[in-house]
Chains A and B, each alone.
Chain A
């Protein structure tokens, strides 16, 4: 399933971020410590699920997401950026907890295994939180 639209909150966040670009030129941190070529840059999935595990860690974090798309139970292993990057985007180790329901927007593995690179999460209360993946423009994002 393709991601249809990033939603109002993303656009608002992008606009706010644009205004603060001069400040942000300063506040960056971790990107990738390895290549992301195993992820399909041409596809973006948007799936609802329940957090089975949240690893707040370096060099990268992980959210293990239990999904039941069409009754088909799967567990996606979604890689995030690392702690410095996520922290500067507002994440903490408590932003996501086991059992939380959320929507994950991610670039799936090219080889079909149930895993991916997490672009952002949309929490149950409607907050959209990006993970700050490097070169986001290189991923399919139907804006």
Chain B
């Protein structure tokens, strides 16, 4: 059954759902860590649908939403430690964005054209992800634009010059105890990374991403993601993203086949119906 609140009989459904959620959370607090429980049974199973925690979209639905459990909440993302040359590029980009915002315009991002967000952003987007785990391969699908990255288990990473650059790169994984360690290489520098209030953090074609994914409680996982890019960064940039399991949710198809937005000659995002459409 899908976790899609309908508008019919809302009181019954919401109340039941809230009770179940409260019981689930209470139970979670008194259970041992999933990793401990599963240690004897081999690696943990991340299969399922997950939302970032706390859910960044909760304010779309819920007024005065309760605060997230600080033990599992996504920690604040540190600023990328950019080298001065790239810091200047990023600062100028953010200044341009703010100025456009004040004019009531928006500098277009790649997303306006419905291009994939790619790695590492898809692991920190606001939409749910779905993980399908097998012993040899783990697929992670981001609902936004139905993007899938594939992690090949127990393979050696290839040298960069043997890889074709793309949006998701080549990901290889292995288990270190109860932690999934993933190495990703081969993301082209036009795929821009999102960070904090800003966006489009620069990176080079050499960017390597190392992730450590593990359970921190039953139904909570964290991805400690490190960006290694000596050309652009003064030192590796590490941040943690938390996810909470959505046991009743199924992914919704997201094909961007009706995009009225376009980018004008000045790089400004426009709506085709509100102004003259592009030629």
Mark A residues whose CB is within 8 Å of B: 13-14, 16-31, 33-35, 37-38, 40, 55, 57-60, 62, 77, 79, 81-85, 87-90, 109-111, 113, 115, 127, 129-130, 132-137
Contacts and interface: CB of A to CB of B under 8 A. Distances in A.
A51 B261 CA distance: 22
Nearest to A90: B7
Interface of B: 3-8, 10-11, 14-15, 17-18, 20-22, 24-25, 51, 53-66, 68, 100-101, 104-106, 108-109, 111-112, 114, 126-128, 143-144, 244-249, 252-261, 269, 271, 273-275
B126 to A, nearest CB: 5
A37 B100 contact: yes
A63 to B, nearest CB: 12
A109 B273 CA distance: 12
A109 B108 CA distance: 17
Given A58-B256, A136-B60, A37 B21 contact: no
A18 B273 contact: no
B185 to A, nearest CB: 27
A134 B66 contact: no
A135 B60 CA distance: 6
Contacts of B109: 34
B6 A90 contact: yes
Question: For B5, B22, B126, B249, which residue has the most chain A Cβ atoms within 10 angstroms?
Answer: B5
Nearest to A58: B256
A49 to B, nearest CB: 16
Contacts of B273: 62, 77, 115
Contact of B246 (A26, A58, A111): A26
Contacts of A88: 3-5, 252
Contacts of B108: 34
A97 B126 CA distance: 30
13 contacts: A16-B14, A24-B65, A29-B127, A30-B143, A33-B111, A55-B258, A58-B254, A58-B255, A77-B273, A83-B252, A85-B60, A135-B60, A136-B60
